[in-house]
Structure 1
C-alpha cells in the first residue's frame, strides 16, 4: 500500500495547483451545471493519461521534439480564446448567474472540459512524463498509477461538488464578475507561460 499512497499523494499534489481545468470545474460547481459529467471527464482523462505514462508513453513525448511545441501552441490559442471570452463576460456583467442556474448545454460543457484537459501541454508533462518516470522506480508501477488516478477522482469530485459550499457568496452578481475576471486573467497568464516555454 506504500506504493499506492505514493502515487496518490504525488498525483494529488500535481493537480492541486489552480489552472485552467480546475478553474472551469470550480465555475461549473458553483453554477451546479453539469457537474457530474465534467468531473467524470476530468477524472477519466487523467486516468487515461496516467495509464499512458505508467505504460511508457512519456518516452514518445521526449522522442518527438516538435510534439511539445505543437501542443503548447494549440493549448495557448485555446486558453487565449477562453480567457478573452470569460473576461468579456466579466466586463458585460449582465451574464452573471445565480448559483444553481444552468449555463450552457451539456455538450458545450463537456467539449470545453475536454479541450481544457487535452490541449494543455502541462497535463502531458506532469501526468504522462513525470508520473510515468516516477512510477518506474516502483516494483508495482501500476499500483502507483492507480493511486494517482484515485487522487484525481477524489480531487475533482471534491472541487466540483464542494464548490456549492461557496454558493452564498455567489448569490451576488459582483462575485461572479470577480470570479470571471480571475479566471480570464489566469487563462491568459497560463497561455503566456506556455508560449514562453
Structure 2
C-alpha cells in the first residue's frame, strides 16, 4: 500500500468535494435556515452528508457512466427538481412579504417528517447533485486504483460532512443578526431568489439540451 499516494488522493478528493459543495445553492440555503432556527439541525446535516456519501460511493462504484447516458433519468430529476424549487421559492417569498409570519415556532413544533422530506428533496431532486457527486467525482476517481481510489472517495465524503455540520451548527453564530425580523425577511427574500433562479436555470438547460 502506497501511503503517500493514498494521502494525496484523499486530499484531492477532499478539495474537489469542498469545491463542489461550497456554493450558494438550494440545499445549502435550506441547511442555513434550519441552522439559524436551530430546528432539527443534527438530523438535517446528517441526512445531507450521508446522502452525499451514498452518491459519491455510487459514482466511484461506476454508476456515473450510467447516469451520464440516461437522459430520461436526468429529465425526470430536472423537471421534478425545478417544480420543487419553484414551490419552495414561493413559500420563502411569502414569508419575506408577510412579517406576521416570521415569528419562529418552538423547535419541537416543526414536523420531523416534513423536514426529512424537504431535506431529501433538496438533495435528490437536484440533477446537479448527480452531475457533481456521481458523474464528476465518479469519473475523476477512475484515475486512482485500489486504496488510493478509496481514499479519494473518503476525502470527498469528509468534505461533505465537515461542510454540512459546519454550516448547520455554525449558523447560530449569526443569531444576533437574525434577532431582528428584518434580517429574516432579507434572508427569505434571498432564498426565494436563489430557488427560482436555480429552477429557471434547470428548465433552460433542459429546454436547450
Q: What is the TM-score of this pair, normalised by structure 2?
A: 0.91
Residue among 145, 154, 162 paired with 2:153? 145
Taking the TM superposition and a 5 Å limit, the aligned residue runs for 1:103-122 are 104-122=110-128
Tell me which stretches of 4 or more aligned residues in structure 1 moved more than 4 Å: none
Partners of 1:101 and 1:22 in 2: CA distance: 22
Residue ranges of structure 1 left out of the alignment (5+ in a row): none
Residue among 92, 95, 99 paired with 1:89? 95
The structural deviation recorded for 1:97 is 3.8
The structural deviation recorded for 1:104 is 2.1
Query: Is 1:183 aligned with 2:201?
Result: no
Helix, strand or coil at the partner of 2:144: coil
Helix, strand or coil at the partner of 1:56: helix
Partners of 1:42 and 1:123 in 2: CA distance: 11
Closer, same or farther: CA 162–97 of 1 in aligned 2, 3 Å:
farther
8 A contact 1:53–1:128 mirrored in 2: yes
8 A contact 1:31–1:101 mirrored in 2: no
Residue ranges of structure 2 left out of the alignment (5+ in a row): 1-6
Residue among 8, 12, 20 paired with 1:14? 20
Taking the TM superposition and a 5 Å limit, the aligned residue runs for 1:18-167 are 18-97=24-103, 101-102=106-107, 104-139=110-145, 140-167=148-175
Q: Which residue of structure 1 aligns with residue 202 of structure 2? A: 194
The alignment's C-alpha RMSD in Å is 1.2
Partners of 1:66 and 1:41 in 2: CA distance: 26
Partners of 2:13 and 2:126 in 1: CA distance: 21
The structural deviation recorded for 1:63 is 1.9
Q: What is the TM-score of this pair, normalised by structure 1?
A: 0.96
Give CA-to-partner distance per residue, 1:163-188, whole Å, 9 cap, x none.
Answer: 00000000001110110000011000
Q: Which residue of structure 1 aligns with residue 3 of structure 2? A: none
Helix, strand or coil at the partner of 2:139: helix
In the alignment of these two chains, the number of paired residues is 196
Give CA-to-partner distance per residue, 1:91-120, whole Å, 9 cap, x none.
Answer: 11212145x942622221111011000100
